[in-house]
Amino acid sequence: AQSVTQPDIHITVSEGASLELRCNYSYGATPYLFWYVQSPGQGLQLLLKYFSGDTLVQGIKGFEAEFKRSQSSFNLRKPSVHWSDAAEYFCAVGAMENYGGSQGNLIFGKGTKLSVKP
Amino acid sequence: SAVISQKPSRDICQRGTSLTIQCQVDSQVTMMFWYRQQPGQSLTLIATANQGSEATYESGFVIDKFPISRPNLTFSTLTVSNMSPEDSSIYLCSAGTSGYSYNEQFFGPGTRLTVL
Protein backbone atom coordinates (compact mmCIF):
# COMPACT_ATOMS: atom_id res chain seq x y z
CA ALA A 1 0.00 0.00 0.00
CA GLN A 2 1.06 3.55 -0.59
CA SER A 3 2.34 5.43 2.43
CA VAL A 4 4.26 8.55 3.28
CA THR A 5 6.48 8.94 6.33
CA GLN A 6 7.66 12.23 7.71
CA PRO A 7 9.89 11.16 10.59
CA ASP A 8 10.20 14.57 12.21
CA ILE A 9 7.09 15.81 13.95
CA HIS A 10 8.57 19.15 14.99
CA ILE A 11 11.74 20.96 13.95
CA THR A 12 13.12 24.25 15.25
CA VAL A 13 15.74 26.17 13.32
CA SER A 14 17.26 29.60 13.70
CA GLU A 15 16.41 32.27 11.20
CA GLY A 16 19.00 32.26 8.43
CA ALA A 17 19.96 28.63 9.01
CA SER A 18 19.48 25.93 6.43
CA LEU A 19 16.55 23.54 6.55
CA GLU A 20 15.91 19.98 5.46
CA LEU A 21 12.59 18.24 6.03
CA ARG A 22 12.55 14.52 5.44
CA CYS A 23 9.99 12.53 3.50
CA ASN A 24 10.03 8.83 2.65
CA TYR A 25 7.39 7.13 0.59
CA SER A 26 6.33 3.60 -0.16
CA TYR A 27 4.97 2.93 -3.62
CA GLY A 28 5.50 0.21 -6.18
CA ALA A 29 5.76 2.37 -9.28
CA THR A 30 7.09 5.83 -10.03
CA PRO A 31 5.26 8.18 -7.74
CA TYR A 32 4.14 11.71 -8.20
CA LEU A 33 5.46 13.65 -5.22
CA PHE A 34 4.39 16.90 -3.65
CA TRP A 35 5.23 19.22 -0.81
CA TYR A 36 2.51 21.42 0.63
CA VAL A 37 2.73 24.09 3.31
CA GLN A 38 -0.04 24.98 5.73
CA SER A 39 0.25 28.21 7.67
CA PRO A 40 -1.79 28.57 10.86
CA GLY A 41 -5.47 28.88 10.03
CA GLN A 42 -4.83 28.53 6.32
CA GLY A 43 -5.40 25.91 3.67
CA LEU A 44 -2.64 24.04 1.91
CA GLN A 45 -0.40 25.71 -0.61
CA LEU A 46 1.61 23.73 -3.12
CA LEU A 47 5.34 24.38 -2.75
CA LEU A 48 6.65 22.08 -5.45
CA LYS A 49 6.01 18.83 -7.26
CA TYR A 50 7.89 16.03 -8.97
CA PHE A 51 6.37 14.14 -11.87
CA SER A 52 9.38 13.10 -13.96
CA GLY A 53 12.67 14.35 -15.37
CA ASP A 54 15.20 16.29 -13.33
CA THR A 55 15.24 14.88 -9.83
CA LEU A 56 16.00 18.26 -8.26
CA VAL A 57 12.92 20.42 -8.41
CA GLN A 58 12.58 24.07 -7.56
CA GLY A 59 9.52 25.48 -5.91
CA ILE A 60 8.15 28.70 -4.61
CA LYS A 61 9.54 30.70 -1.69
CA GLY A 62 13.09 29.46 -2.32
CA PHE A 63 12.35 25.79 -1.56
CA GLU A 64 13.73 22.85 -3.45
CA ALA A 65 13.38 19.09 -3.15
CA GLU A 66 15.34 16.14 -4.47
CA PHE A 67 13.81 12.85 -5.55
CA LYS A 68 16.04 9.89 -4.73
CA ARG A 69 14.53 6.72 -6.06
CA SER A 70 17.14 4.48 -4.40
CA GLN A 71 16.23 5.89 -0.99
CA SER A 72 12.50 6.37 -1.67
CA SER A 73 12.91 9.90 -0.44
CA PHE A 74 11.81 13.36 -1.43
CA ASN A 75 13.40 15.73 1.09
CA LEU A 76 12.57 19.40 1.14
CA ARG A 77 15.37 21.94 1.55
CA LYS A 78 15.88 25.65 1.91
CA PRO A 79 19.31 27.27 2.25
CA SER A 80 18.23 30.12 4.52
CA VAL A 81 15.04 30.04 6.57
CA HIS A 82 12.93 33.14 7.15
CA TRP A 83 10.64 33.68 10.12
CA SER A 84 7.67 33.59 7.74
CA ASP A 85 8.49 29.98 6.89
CA ALA A 86 7.14 28.85 10.27
CA ALA A 87 4.28 26.54 9.32
CA GLU A 88 3.40 22.90 8.94
CA TYR A 89 4.78 21.04 5.94
CA PHE A 90 3.16 18.03 4.34
CA CYS A 91 4.66 15.59 1.91
CA ALA A 92 2.24 13.74 -0.36
CA VAL A 93 2.36 10.99 -2.97
CA GLY A 94 -0.03 10.48 -5.83
CA ALA A 95 -0.45 7.98 -8.60
CA MET A 96 -1.84 7.80 -12.07
CA GLU A 97 -3.40 4.43 -11.44
CA ASN A 98 -6.85 4.00 -10.01
CA TYR A 99 -5.64 3.26 -6.53
CA GLY A 100 -8.25 2.31 -4.00
CA GLY A 101 -11.02 3.45 -6.29
CA SER A 102 -9.94 7.06 -6.07
CA GLN A 103 -8.11 8.02 -9.20
CA GLY A 104 -5.99 11.02 -8.53
CA ASN A 105 -5.93 10.39 -4.79
CA LEU A 106 -3.15 11.91 -2.72
CA ILE A 107 -1.70 10.19 0.33
CA PHE A 108 -0.32 12.62 2.88
CA GLY A 109 2.31 12.26 5.54
CA LYS A 110 1.52 13.37 9.07
CA GLY A 111 3.34 16.63 8.63
CA THR A 112 6.35 18.37 10.14
CA LYS A 113 5.83 21.52 12.13
CA LEU A 114 8.57 24.07 11.59
CA SER A 115 9.35 26.68 14.21
CA VAL A 116 11.84 29.47 13.49
CA LYS A 117 13.89 31.09 16.25
CA PRO A 118 14.83 34.76 15.83
CA SER B 1 -3.86 26.71 -11.22
CA ALA B 2 -7.23 27.12 -9.54
CA VAL B 3 -8.50 29.34 -6.77
CA ILE B 4 -10.86 27.66 -4.35
CA SER B 5 -13.16 29.18 -1.80
CA GLN B 6 -15.14 27.47 0.94
CA LYS B 7 -18.14 28.48 2.97
CA PRO B 8 -18.45 28.68 5.89
CA SER B 9 -14.90 29.25 7.08
CA ARG B 10 -15.86 27.99 10.52
CA ASP B 11 -18.90 26.94 12.46
CA ILE B 12 -19.93 25.68 15.86
CA CYS B 13 -22.75 23.18 15.74
CA GLN B 14 -24.83 21.17 18.13
CA ARG B 15 -24.74 17.41 18.32
CA GLY B 16 -27.28 15.73 16.04
CA THR B 17 -27.50 18.54 13.52
CA SER B 18 -26.10 18.69 9.98
CA LEU B 19 -23.86 21.19 8.23
CA THR B 20 -23.37 21.67 4.51
CA ILE B 21 -20.02 23.01 3.34
CA GLN B 22 -19.76 24.67 -0.04
CA CYS B 23 -16.73 24.62 -2.30
CA GLN B 24 -16.41 26.93 -5.29
CA VAL B 25 -13.65 26.82 -7.90
CA ASP B 26 -12.82 29.73 -10.18
CA SER B 27 -12.43 27.48 -13.21
CA GLN B 28 -13.83 24.21 -14.50
CA VAL B 29 -12.10 21.22 -12.99
CA THR B 30 -12.39 17.53 -13.62
CA MET B 31 -12.09 16.22 -10.11
CA MET B 32 -12.91 17.58 -6.70
CA PHE B 33 -11.93 16.01 -3.42
CA TRP B 34 -13.02 16.34 0.18
CA TYR B 35 -10.53 15.78 2.99
CA ARG B 36 -10.79 15.76 6.75
CA GLN B 37 -7.99 17.00 8.98
CA GLN B 38 -8.55 16.06 12.58
CA PRO B 39 -6.73 18.03 15.28
CA GLY B 40 -2.99 17.43 15.08
CA GLN B 41 -3.39 14.95 12.23
CA SER B 42 -2.73 14.82 8.54
CA LEU B 43 -5.31 14.93 5.81
CA THR B 44 -7.55 11.96 5.18
CA LEU B 45 -9.50 11.68 1.97
CA ILE B 46 -13.23 11.36 2.50
CA ALA B 47 -14.40 11.08 -1.09
CA THR B 48 -13.80 12.01 -4.69
CA ALA B 49 -16.54 13.95 -6.46
CA ASN B 50 -16.82 13.88 -10.23
CA GLN B 51 -19.47 15.83 -12.07
CA GLY B 52 -22.28 13.65 -13.37
CA SER B 53 -21.53 10.60 -11.28
CA GLU B 54 -21.85 9.39 -7.72
CA ALA B 55 -19.07 10.32 -5.35
CA THR B 56 -16.50 7.64 -4.55
CA TYR B 57 -16.01 7.18 -0.82
CA GLU B 58 -12.89 5.98 0.95
CA SER B 59 -12.89 3.18 3.45
CA GLY B 60 -14.47 4.32 6.68
CA PHE B 61 -16.64 7.00 5.10
CA VAL B 62 -20.23 6.47 3.96
CA ILE B 63 -22.67 8.43 1.91
CA ASP B 64 -25.30 8.58 4.63
CA LYS B 65 -22.90 10.39 6.92
CA PHE B 66 -21.14 12.54 4.30
CA PRO B 67 -23.45 13.10 1.33
CA ILE B 68 -21.75 14.98 -1.49
CA SER B 69 -23.14 16.87 -4.45
CA ARG B 70 -21.32 17.91 -7.62
CA PRO B 71 -23.85 19.68 -9.81
CA ASN B 72 -21.33 21.23 -12.21
CA LEU B 73 -17.63 21.55 -12.96
CA THR B 74 -17.00 24.43 -10.55
CA PHE B 75 -18.99 23.57 -7.44
CA SER B 76 -19.41 20.86 -4.82
CA THR B 77 -20.94 20.48 -1.38
CA LEU B 78 -20.18 18.18 1.52
CA THR B 79 -22.75 17.61 4.25
CA VAL B 80 -21.72 16.34 7.64
CA SER B 81 -24.85 14.65 8.94
CA ASN B 82 -26.04 13.83 12.44
CA MET B 83 -22.90 15.38 13.88
CA SER B 84 -21.11 14.25 17.02
CA PRO B 85 -18.09 15.80 18.78
CA GLU B 86 -15.88 13.30 16.93
CA ASP B 87 -16.72 15.14 13.71
CA SER B 88 -14.90 18.24 14.96
CA SER B 89 -12.25 18.74 12.29
CA ILE B 90 -11.10 20.93 9.48
CA TYR B 91 -12.77 19.94 6.23
CA LEU B 92 -10.86 20.81 3.08
CA CYS B 93 -11.98 20.83 -0.49
CA SER B 94 -9.50 20.43 -3.30
CA ALA B 95 -9.62 20.40 -7.08
CA GLY B 96 -7.60 18.45 -9.59
CA THR B 97 -7.13 19.76 -13.09
CA SER B 98 -7.64 17.56 -16.12
CA GLY B 99 -4.99 15.49 -17.82
CA TYR B 100 -2.14 13.44 -16.44
CA SER B 101 -1.37 15.99 -13.76
CA TYR B 102 -4.68 15.82 -12.00
CA ASN B 103 -2.77 14.57 -9.04
CA GLU B 104 -1.77 18.18 -8.59
CA GLN B 105 -4.47 19.47 -6.32
CA PHE B 106 -5.30 22.96 -5.25
CA PHE B 107 -6.82 23.38 -1.84
CA GLY B 108 -9.40 25.65 -0.36
CA PRO B 109 -8.80 27.40 2.97
CA GLY B 110 -10.83 24.83 4.87
CA THR B 111 -13.89 24.85 7.10
CA ARG B 112 -13.17 24.54 10.81
CA LEU B 113 -16.03 22.65 12.42
CA THR B 114 -16.60 22.35 16.14
CA VAL B 115 -19.38 20.09 17.38
CA LEU B 116 -20.58 20.56 20.94
- What's the mean per-residue pLDDT of chain B? 90
What's the domain count of chain A? 1
* pLDDT value at residue A12: 97
Of B59, B102, B110, which has the smallest distance from its Cβ to A104's Cβ?
B102
Query: Does B42 sit within 8 Å of A43, measured CB to CB?
Result: no
What domain range includes position A57? 3-117
* pLDDT value at residue A90: 96
Which chain A residues contact residue B105 at CB under 8 A?
46, 104, 106
Query: Does A36 sit within 8 Å of B107, measured CB to CB?
Result: yes
Query: Does B45 sit within 8 Å of A105, measured CB to CB?
Result: yes
Query: Does A46 sit within 8 Å of B104, measured CB to CB?
Result: yes
Of B48, B104, B108, which has the smallest distance from its Cβ to A102's Cβ?
B48
CATH of the domain at A105: 2.60.40.10
Give the confidence band of A103 by pLDDT, cuts at 50, 70, 90: low
Q: State the average pLDDT over residues A57-72.
A: 95
Q: Which fold has domain B4-99?
A: Immunoglobulin-like (2.60.40)
- Cα torsion A50, A54, A55, A56: sign: negative
* pLDDT of A116 strictly over 50: yes
| All structural domains of chain B with their residue ranges | 4-99
> What percent of chain B has pLDDT above 90?
66
